[in-house]
Amino acid sequence: MRKKLGAEFLGTFWLVLGGCGAAVLAAGIPGVGIGYMGVAFAFGLTVLTMVYAIGPISGCHLNPAVSFGLWAGRRFPAAELAPYIIAQVLGAIAGAGVLYLIASGGPGFALSDGFASNGYGAHSPGGYALAACLITEVVMTFMFLMIILGATDKRAPQGFAGIAIGLGLTLIHLISIPVTNTSVNPARSTGPAIFVGGWAVSQLWLFWVAPIVGALLAGFAYRWLIGDDSTQGS
């Protein structure tokens, strides 16, 4: 279990440093910034690389919503939920901490710019209202878990799950960055929010509730699709 938790810590650290780091450090450089598309691919690539790096150790959840969804799909034991989630959140905070140390050494950096935090209303990149952001996070997390559950099903082609999952997360970001800055991951949302404080912490509830609801719905839906066969996948 210690090795599993260490892997989840490291993987979530990389997800936040890589994904949020791309948003904070590289997205807005005039003329050469990577923009929304680059940030979307950065998040997808962090997951794709970690699937192959730590997947054999911990399953590469990197996300409390994924752990809940796999539990609902009968792929993950309830007894390991709390330890996994703690490791993921700590990894996300550590990733955000390293990103802060790097970003604060550059000119013009300010936490008030958002630090890649997720938000709704005035803090949504596109100014989207709470209801729109709630629907977005539930639906996007639902689809993410459906991709994960399907790609890791024992009937799926073996060895390609990381590609499907990484590209799935990229697509989700391409759709939803303008709406919420894309969470679908409570740990990813928690790391930057702790450093920003204020509005980011007060809005954090949405980015725990909506992804977990979407993930649970996906887990139950996938069990229905496969005939509630808990032997599928690993």
Q: Is residue 31 part of a domain?
A: yes
Is 150 within the bounds of a domain?
yes
Question: pLDDT at residue 234 above 50?
Answer: no
* 230, part of any domain: no
- For the residues of 37-95, what is the DSSP string, one character each? HHHHHHHHHHHHHHHHHHHHHH----SHHHHHHHHHTTSS-GGGHHHHHHHHHHHHHHH
Q: Provide the phi-psi class of 152: left if phi over 0, else alpha when psi is between -120 and 50, else beta.
A: alpha
Range scoring the smallest mean pLDDT among 9-18, 26-35, 59-68, 147-156: 26-35
CATH code (residue 99): 1.20.1080.10
**Which residue range is the domain that position 218 belongs to?**
2-104+112-225
Place 203 in a pLDDT band, splitting at 50, 70 and 90: very high
Residue 78 lies in a domain: yes
The one-character DSSP state at 157 is: P
Q: Is the pLDDT of residue 201 over 70?
A: yes
Q: What is the mean predicted confidence (pLDDT) over 189-204?
A: 98
In a domain, 231, yes or no: no
DSSP state of 227: T
Tally the domains of the chain: 1
User: Phi/psi zone of residue 121: left (φ > 0), alpha (ψ -120 to 50 degrees), beta?
Assistant: left
Is 95 among the domain residues? yes
Q: At what angle do helices 161-180 and 130-151 cross, to 10 degrees?
A: 180
Residue 186 belongs to some domain of the structure: yes
Question: Does residue 92 lie in a domain region?
Answer: yes
Q: Is the pLDDT of residue 73 over 90?
A: yes
Give yes or no for residue 197 having a pLDDT over 50. Answer: yes
Burial 209-226 (b: 16+ CB within 10 A, else e): ebbbbbbbbbbebbbeeb
